[in-house]
A and B are shown apart, each in its own frame.
Chain A
Amino acid sequence: MRRGFNFPGLAFLQGLVGLALFVWVWHLIVASGAVPRAFLPSPEATWNAFVRGVTIGDMREQLLGTVLRMINGWLLASLVGIALGSAIGISETLRNYLRPTLAFARALPASAVVPVAIALVGLTPGMVLGVIVFGSIWPTLLATVQGFAMVDPRLVEVSRALHLSRFDFIWKIGLPNAVPDIITGMRLSLTVALILAIVGEMLAGQEGLGKAILLAARMFRAPDLYAGIVLLGLVGLVSSYGLLLVERRVARWRR
């Protein structure tokens, strides 16, 4: 996180060494034969399955399916979360009324509502999207509420002295003040959205990496299973890191 670290190249190198060590230990365990290959394939077999899946297999389509599902749900959750969060955050009374309810909804594991969602809308793409939105809305919504609650009282006075309208206060003071919190919330939301996209695929049989790794596991194609897991890990890493960059850029006025 720290800027101006002395050896950013060194830190990166250390990270690579750590990763290489991890793969090497993985290799050693497989080579020792302590774990059956049906459960733990070698790194080479995983890599080959990965390359095969991406080049001649269906992995690209599956990846696209999962990523789109994740992003659609996440964007919808972000939009609704920011709008609702602004509406709640602007009023201290409303904040006080809703705080316990929001805390409960946030603490509720989203997968727990899946049976409810299935009962209500069936095993449809809409259900999966709905569960993703429901599960991933909370970090963004709560961060927005928080961002509004933390507006400096002085700025509230400034906006009153300037006769800013309620809309102008939200748009020009409340939201910009909340932006760093919102982006952080959206980063957390994205992680949840990915988890729920995969769970949704597994449960509702939607085309994607989640369904693919479930099938691979059922058919004891361990290398394919692990290749899918590695790819999902990469999706999570890339999306989270991308938003971290956005977070730093947006909050450049914050020192």
Chain B
Amino acid sequence: MSGKSGSVVIEFRDVGLYLGGKEITQNVEFNVRKGEFVCVIGASGCGKTTLLRLVSGLYQPTTGSVHVDGKKVDGPSRDVAIVFQDYSRALLPWRTAAGNVSLALEAIGMPRAERADRIHALLGKVGLAQHAAKYPSQLSGGMQQRLQIARSLAQGASILLMDEPFGALDAMTRQSLQDEVLELAADTGATVLFVTHDLEEALYLGDRVVALYSNPGRIARIVDIPLTRPRNQLSTREEPDFLHLRRELFGLMEEIHA
């Protein structure tokens, strides 16, 4: 089913969720393996983000269960980090870039003396070493999202949940961040569950793509992406497999929207 042969780290077992009497998610069942990069696509309101909240323990399923590392999720875990789409709301505006990364280190109880080096290394990883003393309001959107990624890395989690992280960014910034996230995922060996409404982004990043129907959110199709890594913004997007999958999924998405 998947290109990677690692053990299963995220399991959706026949998951259903009702919120305020409305059925959000229905019969969702799929697995994510260790180190795998899985993208979830679907129209807005199809419950993509809900799936991330279920894995992160911010929501509890009404029926079925979500398991991480074999254990049933019953609340947030430090081994699961989440990157929100609205970076400007997810960062602490009164803390500098360094201070925002520090929050995650403080949360895991790292002694003060060790934090400075770690913060510097993490900010360096996302290209923000020069901006450590700036407040989020002084950073561009792309930089704020990099900062949120650095904070999620600081948590030391092996599972990274990303909720349309580049949806609000311009095309150039989005492409460079896509490549940075692929690099970071490869470096850290993290398992990534990535939600997007951008079909091409899903194909470019993922090992697999999970497409969802709307109202309620349920799985329409799960597609393996056999494109070679490392991926390249130009050549990958020109590969016959890419174009073929794009056509296929595009058709599916039109069907979903209809």
Contacts and interface: CB of A to CB of B under 8 A. Distances in A.
Given A172-B103, A179-B94, A161 B56 contact: yes
B39 interface: no
Nearest to A250: B94
A152 B77 CA distance: 21
Contacts, number: 51
A157 B57 CA distance: 10
B92 interface: yes
Interface centre among A163, A168, A254 (most CB of B within 10 A): A163
Given A154-B89, A168-B107, A172-B103, A253 B94 contact: yes
Contacts of B93: 253-254
Interface in A160-192: 160-164, 168, 172-173, 176-177, 179
A255 interface: yes
A94 interface: no
A158 B93 CA distance: 13
B90 A154 contact: yes
Contact of A168 (B56, B92, B106): B106
A152 B84 CA distance: 13
A163 B107 contact: yes
Contacts of B136: 253
A254 B80 CA distance: 30
Interface string A187-209: 00000000000000000000000
**Which secondary structure characterizes the binding site on chain A?**
helix
Contact of A164 (B80, B89, B107): B107
Interface in B73-103: 76-78, 80-82, 84, 86, 89-90, 92-95, 103
A158 B94 CA distance: 15
A125 to B, nearest CB: 39
A154 B92 CA distance: 10
A108 interface: no
B133 interface: no
Given A253-B137, A255-B137, A161 B80 contact: yes
B242 interface: no
Given A163-B107, A168-B107, A172-B103, A157 B84 contact: yes
Contacts of B107: 162-164, 168
B58 A157 contact: yes
Interface string B167-202: 000000000000000000000000000000000000
A164 B90 CA distance: 15
A155 interface: yes
> What range describes how many residues of A lie at the interface?
10 to 19
A142 to B, nearest CB: 21
Interface string B137-165: 10000000000000000010000000000
A176 B137 contact: no
Interface string B47-87: 00000000010100000000000000000111011101010
Given A161-B76, A162-B155, A163-B78, A173 B86 contact: no
B93 to A, nearest CB: 5
B104 interface: yes
A179 to B, nearest CB: 7
A220 B134 CA distance: 61
A173 B56 contact: no
Contacts of B137: 253, 255
Contacts of A164: 107
A168 B106 CA distance: 9
Contact of A155 (B77, B92, B135): B92
A154 B94 contact: no
Interface in B6-32: none
A254 B84 CA distance: 21
Interface in A198-250: none
Contacts of B155: 162
Nearest to B155: A162
Interface string A144-159: 0000000010110110
10 closest residue pairs by CB, A with B: A162-B107, A154-B89, A253-B94, A176-B94, A253-B135, A160-B76, A152-B89, A255-B137, A253-B93, A154-B90
18 contacts: A155-B89, A155-B92, A157-B82, A158-B90, A161-B56, A161-B58, A161-B80, A161-B82, A162-B78, A162-B104, A168-B106, A168-B107, A172-B106, A176-B92, A179-B94, A253-B94, A253-B135, A255-B137
Interface of A: 152, 154-155, 157-158, 160-164, 168, 172-173, 176-177, 179, 253-255
